[in-house]
A and B are shown apart, each in its own frame.
Chain A
């Protein structure tokens, strides 16, 4: 068993494997299928509770992952200001591994695909992919 604490390395390797052997279009297709078929817990919360559902989802997952971030929820907007992404921290810490260079791209594909069909606009702005700094901003469309 690959432990869930070791998963991020396997995830990065999976992106690299698909990208190298099958190309970027296939990797994006993988991310889209992951969004469509696996992220139903986020989708259900967005469908039921909108912005508050996003806050509920990420409060739980980012807490378990030990993220250093600030979440803000208003009537019109939900945002995450990520100071240190826990996933990129794992990739940085494990210096023996060459991380997939576009690792952060998957967040843009996954979350936009889940959230935007419900009438929201989702922007993911990565300011420092190595240190894991980004902003996820969701606004009412």
Chain B
């Protein structure tokens, strides 16, 4: 059972703000894509091998660890949908009085996008940072 130290969300948020303020949005995105490729290499491989159930297992594990209010399901068109009803990262940062980076939710979009692209899948995120909610969708990339 991994140890859950939620203040790391604040530290990650600070890192994003530092990149954004000092080097700009493109560099922040470059960093996040690097994290996706390097840190999530096993998930990318698992997604290639097992398909969307690999992502389903990943999110189920993470959301339970973070004690998130969420819903995770497949739709009829083989899309995996993760609905986060209250983001545990934003909730924690607000409770501690941290200023949430304006692009914090973009990190989710970019990291998801890179993981999926590397494995032949696609993702989209609709987020509402103010209300700490988002809906993430994952599906197999359409054949070209």
Q: Answer yes or no: A105 CB below 8 A from chain B CBs.
A: no
Return chain A residues, CB-CB under 8 Å to B2. Answer: 5
B-side interface residues, number (CB < 8 Å)? 38
Q: Considering the chains assembled together, what is the distance between the CA atoms of A86 and B8 in angstroms? A: 13
Instruction: Give every chain B residue within 8 A of A124 (Cβ-Cβ).
Output: none
Bound complex: CA A44 to CA B51 (Å): 48
Q: CB distance A10 to B12 under 8 Å?
A: yes
Q: Contact between B3 and A86 (Cβ–Cβ < 8 Å)? A: yes
If the complex has contacts A65-B3, A97-B39, are A3 and B62 also in contact, measured as CB distance less than 8 A? yes
Q: Does B54 contact A (CB under 8 A)?
A: no
Asked if A33 and B8 sit within 8 Å, CB to CB, the answer is no
Interface majority SS (helix, strand, loop, mixed), chain B: helix
Decide if B65 is an interface residue (CB 8 Å cutoff).
yes
**Stretch from A11-19, A70-78, A112-120 forming part of the interface with B:** A11-19
CA distance A23 to B66 in the complex (A): 34
Number of interface residues of A (CB under 8 A): 32
B116 within 8 Å of A (CB atoms): no
Task: Let me know if A9 is at the binding interface, CB within 8 A.
Answer: yes
Contact (Cβ within 8 A) B108 A1 = yes
Chain A, range 93-137, C-beta contacts under 8 Å to B:
94, 96-98
18 contacts between A and B (CB under 8 A): A1-B62, A1-B89, A1-B108, A2-B35, A3-B66, A4-B5, A4-B6, A4-B7, A5-B62, A7-B11, A10-B12, A14-B35, A17-B34, A22-B23, A64-B3, A65-B5, A86-B3, A97-B38
Residues on B close to A: CB < 8 A?
2-12, 14-15, 18-19, 22-23, 27, 30-31, 34-35, 38-39, 41-42, 62, 65-66, 84, 87-89, 96, 98, 107-108, 111
